Structure 1
Amino acid sequence: MDISVMQSYELNMSSLDFLNDYINPARIAADESEVRNNDFNKKIIDECDDLVTYEKIVRGNTVKYFELTYDQMMLIGMRESKAVRKNVLVKLRELSQPSSTLPASFADALQLAADQARQIEIQNKQLMLDAPKVDFAERIAKVDRGMTLGKFAKTVNLGPRKIFVVLRDMKILISGCQGYNLPMQQYIENGCFVVRQSTYGPENDRIANTTLITGKGELWLTKKLINAGVLKAVAV
């Protein structure tokens, strides 16, 4: 489980970890059925704003998830039944508190320092082993980030309006009224695009969708535009 704790004790956790380590165990303890990740994601989208879709491979399948703040986890937890809600909130509050455990003696402090040094050494070795893979993933896949199509258009010397026209003509973006200018589902599923949702209006009751192209999508789309004659090869 990957949890980020800052000095203010704000927590960030992936929705997969929140589901698998908090929500579903609490539901099982309350004799309720487990929630599937796809259904859990729908709850998150309905409850939270400013989400960016992440993806990772789990047992050969592409799984979508979100990075959640402590407040977002609290909001989502509130949607559960009373029994589940109480269990989840207790665990979240425990995580939000700083650890107050201190060594009982000088010998314990030395042992703790030695253990931490060994752990750091192990982590550094693992980071060295993982570095090539991480570098490749960040440069090529970059599924966890994205840029707007307007910015992408500037990098390949296309106008920000023209890029939408071209992609609609190539049936990469939806041209119909429902989902206009959003990517076709197949291009979201293969990791080339993500859709960011945000709210607006006097009461923040209206939803806006923004299409973002991932690093993987930039490489794929640039080649596709060159093959279609929209771009020249020197623009790569």
Structure 2
Amino acid sequence: MNELIKVNFDKEQPTVSARDLHEQLNIGKRFSAWFETNSKGFVEGEDFEGAYLKVQGNQYGGEQEIQDYNLSIDMAKHICLMSRTEKGRECRQYFIDLEKAWNTPEQIMARALKMADKTIEQLKTDNKALEQKIEQDKPKTIFADAVSTSHTSILIGDLAKLICQNGVQIGQKRLFEWMRQNNFLIKSGSSRNMPMQRYVEQGLFEIKESNVQNPDGSVRITKTTKVTGKGQIYFVNQFLKGNTLEKRC
């Protein structure tokens, strides 16, 4: 079908410029007065919406915006009918034929596929934004997970499990080794695996003493290294920020 007047198909329903229609109908009446008369009975936001058209403003090449309106095809057909001219009948028939083509099964399917593509692209954008937010919030989540278990002191083996739950793969043996290598725990001697005094003073560790009765009836004192709530948060975040171990979990 030859294009008699330009139709905009960018939106869900096709629209036509009121100024283009005014020009095509060869209306001698000023555009603003013509539109005011012909828009009576129509609802803005449903049948038409305001728009602005950029035109050359003066001989020096300046540009200005003039008032225009995007009309629904139904409104455009009504205006053509009201013009009672041969040109009006021609334009009205053009719009009728255009609507028939617009509502063929092929065109309906094409619009549905186009809308589906837009939806898919929007979902991709939304998912990407969600993934970025999850990544940004990960340190907060890990910190919160550590805080949730920090109300009591725990064994180093339990700390290893907590670190693993928060994203870093490590076992009890490797954690003990890491702490010795990094001088958190004493490396050798009778106090091996006991915390260094400065870290006890900093509140990262505490030493739990227990009385154990020997078979001969004597009593011995055992000492166990435990990680405080403050220490749990500290070590979880150390492993989160560091690159010393393989990240997984």
TM-score normalised by length of structure 2: 0.35
TM-score normalised by length of structure 1: 0.36
Q: Which has the higher contact order (CA 8 A, sep 6+)?
A: 1
Pair member with larger Rg: 2
